[in-house]
Structure 1
Amino acid sequence: METVLVTGGAGFIGSHLVERLVAEGFAVRVLDDLSSGRVEHLATVRGRIEFLEGDIRDGDDVRRAVAGCTRVFHLAAVVSVQKTVEDPLGSAAVNEMGSLSLLEAARAAGVRRVVFASSSAVYGDDPRLPKREDHAVRPRSPYAVQKLAAEHYLSVYEGLFGLSTASLRFFNVFGPRQDPSSPYSGVISIFLTRALADEAPLVYGDGGQTRDFIYVADVVEALVRASSSTEVGVFNVGTGREVDILTLWREIAALTGCGRSPQHLPPRPGDIRRSVAAIDEAAGRLGFVPRVPFEEGLSRTLAWYRRAPAGS
């Protein structure tokens, strides 16, 4: 049985990936320090995986985690943009040096393939749409710089050492287990929670900002396909569809029966006006096509929030 490692496997996206890998018959090892992930996210597979509570910055933890693995999915990160602004050094130790530590351990252990969870944040405020992998990158936060630096390290390790790598630039991922209590959570989880509580959503600016929302199961599909491929480089993972924030609220209000109107606040400095992915590269080279329509993803996510205990 092939052994694979998922760093950050107790997190929002990571736990869905772990479930998929277990279902496909892999021996799955998870490395997570539980700073933002939760063991409860792995409840359905807890007895069928190897869970290591450890830190991506700790060389011993990382070497122990990669030993015997053929593939590594690297999702462990400080994922809050604001936290990277507040603590650039501490977040870089995780997002940059932690990634480098993992790559070095993977090289030494003979890992065959490393797939990295990057971000569309690397594009910054480049106005061209849709975002393509060959567009100029304009990172506007420590988080974006750190993700871009890790992408470059993956490319260097592929070129110098022959370690097969792929970086997936996630757009706006949503779905079950996204924590709405965090001020850094995705807008969909926050809007759903407010709608279910019959509270008005807070909308910054006029609500005309657009995002490319992709359901978590489709992101997992992209990760699995990338791990099975020999294609190297960077790949956008989105849907190619723009949805503006006011339309998002109308969809959620209709699903939940909430009659509240948005409360508009001043625009946030640096907020990107429009974002949408070109997914030709992922489709042509990885065979990835998103399968879950936006509306269906919203319905599935709402069903989970209605079932989930408080604080889940």
Structure 2
Amino acid sequence: MNQIKDKTILVTGGAGFIGSNLCEHLLEYNNKVVCLDNFATGRVQNIQHLLNHSNFTLIVGDIRNLSDCHKAVMGVEYVLHQAALGSVPRSINDPITSNDVNVSGFLNMLVAARDAKVKKFVYAASSSTYGDSEALPKIEDKIGKPLSPYAITKYVNELYADIFQKSYGLNCIGLRYFNVFGRKQDPNGAYAAVIPKFVMQLMKHESPIINGDGNYSRDFTYIDNVIQMNVLALLTENPEAMNTVYNTAFGDRTTLNDLMASLKKYLSKYDEKIASVEVIYGPNRNGDIPHSLASIDKAKKMLGYNPQYSMQQGLEQAVAWYWENLQ
């Protein structure tokens, strides 16, 4: 795969799960990386090993503060905007903060990027934008009504990005992430993602709780596929590939029951007792969609996307990382 090299790139939310993986990858190719994070959900340990790197700059700041955004984009050629408050349940419990960060913060970053005349603004969009659309697979130009405040914020991002291109000529690309997982994903807290949370519970021989009967399915996407998409979005010079959104996924779906079986299988290599941990089934979660599956045809055609990791391949690597780092 082609790589982006010798550029100056801002990663907002660069101490978070996806952001820190992007920072690490970009530094490997002699890019200068600026990381902006307020550590609301990002973690210092994700970037600790980068702090002394000569090409890495950490700015502790908040995208809700326009002056922090202006400071972060100074001298930057490209922006990878990952900063957001994730989680559907969090947005249902506290819609105001989710909106402040995901909408007002996003708008601040667009304004700062416009003022700094950055070449391209690539941002984390979300599969939650498909809302109540029941069509499978999900195709970029067919969405339904949002099912949560979080989904509304991520759809508004797409609308703002489109207007900033039309009004100010700022090149934007949105990446609709589908259930990203992998190394550095935080297993702790009320809003932890399902895979690290299940791994942590299984490692402690605690019974994981599956919402519903376990037959809901997701297009689980390994972090390295997401890194590839971000790099391809930065690299593209094709005007037709710009100012649009792309599904960022593997293009396959896995039920929660199958996910649990795979996690037990891979973790049992390290601790055979995990195979017999009981699973508890609870009620369905408010705002959840039953099934999610991405069409990745557009990304393949327009960006040359070629995901290298299936869900199973990624899961095996992720479990190995968790076993090593979460004991």
- TM band (smaller chain): over 0.9
Task: Choose from 246, 250, 253 the match for 2:257.
Answer: 246
Q: Which runs of no fewer than 5 residues in structure 2 stay unpaired?
A: 1-5, 269-273
Q: Which amino acid aligns with 1:239?
A: F
The answer to whether residue 284 in structure 2 is matched with residue 279 in structure 1 is: no
Q: Which amino acid aligns with 1:279?
A: I
**Deviation sequence 1:128-160 (CA, Å, 0-9, x none):** 000000112321111111111111111111112
Task: Choose from 132, 147, 150 the match for 1:143.
Answer: 150
Task: Choose from 268, 278, 302 the match for 2:285.
Answer: 268
- TM-superposed CA distance for 1:82, in Å, is 2.1
The answer to whether residue 214 in structure 2 is matched with residue 197 in structure 1 is: no
| Contact preservation (8 Å) 2:78, 2:120 | yes
Q: In 2 relative to 1, CA 269–58 (structure 1 residues): closer, same or farther, beyond 3 Å?
A: closer
Q: How does 1:77-96 map to 2 (within 5 A)?
A: 77-96=84-103
* Count of equivalent residues: 310
Measure, in 2, the Cα distance between the counterparts of 1:234 and 1:309. 35
Equivalence for 1:2: 7
Equivalence for 1:295: 312
Q: How does 1:1-312 map to 2 (within 5 A)?
A: 1-48=6-53, 49-230=56-237, 231-232=241-242, 233-257=244-268, 258=274, 259-309=276-326
Secondary structure at the residue paired with 1:43? helix
Measure, in 2, the Cα distance between the counterparts of 1:227 and 1:218. 14
Measure, in 2, the Cα distance between the counterparts of 1:6 and 1:94. 16
Secondary structure at the residue paired with 1:182? coil
- TM-superposed CA distance for 1:309, in Å, is 4.5
Measure, in 1, the Cα distance between the counterparts of 2:118 and 2:182. 30
TM-score between both structures, scaled by the size of structure 2: 0.92
Measure, in 1, the Cα distance between the counterparts of 2:143 and 2:185. 30
| Contact preservation (8 Å) 2:89, 2:286 | no
Secondary structure at the residue paired with 1:155? helix
Measure, in 1, the Cα distance between the counterparts of 2:115 and 2:11. 18
Q: Which amino acid aligns with 2:277?
A: R
Measure, in 1, the Cα distance between the counterparts of 2:211 and 2:103. 31
Measure, in 1, the Cα distance between the counterparts of 2:59 and 2:98. 21
Single out whichever of 163-172 and 78-87 deviates more from structure 2. Answer: 78-87
Q: Which amino acid aligns with 2:132?
A: D
Measure, in 2, the Cα distance between the counterparts of 1:288 and 1:307. 30
Tell me the C-alpha RMSD between the 2 structures: 1.3
**Deviation sequence 1:7-47 (CA, Å, 0-9, x none):** 00000000000001100111000100011101210123222
| Contact preservation (8 Å) 2:82, 2:123 | yes
- TM-superposed CA distance for 1:290, in Å, is 1.0
**Deviation sequence 1:83-111 (CA, Å, 0-9, x none):** 22222222211111111111111111110
Percent identity of paired positions between Structure 1 and Structure 2 = 38
Single out whichever of 189-198 and 26-35 deviates more from structure 2. Answer: 189-198
- TM-superposed CA distance for 1:162, in Å, is 1.1
Q: Which amino acid aligns with 2:279?
A: P
- TM-superposed CA distance for 1:199, in Å, is 2.2
Secondary structure at the residue paired with 1:76? coil
| Contact preservation (8 Å) 2:13, 2:37 | yes
Q: Which amino acid aligns with 1:180?
A: P
User: After TM superposition, what 4+ stretches of structure 1 lie above 6 angstroms from structure 2?
Assistant: none
**Deviation sequence 1:267-299 (CA, Å, 0-9, x none):** 223431111000011111111121012222111
Measure, in 1, the Cα distance between the counterparts of 2:207 and 2:213. 15
TM-score between both structures, scaled by the size of structure 1: 0.96
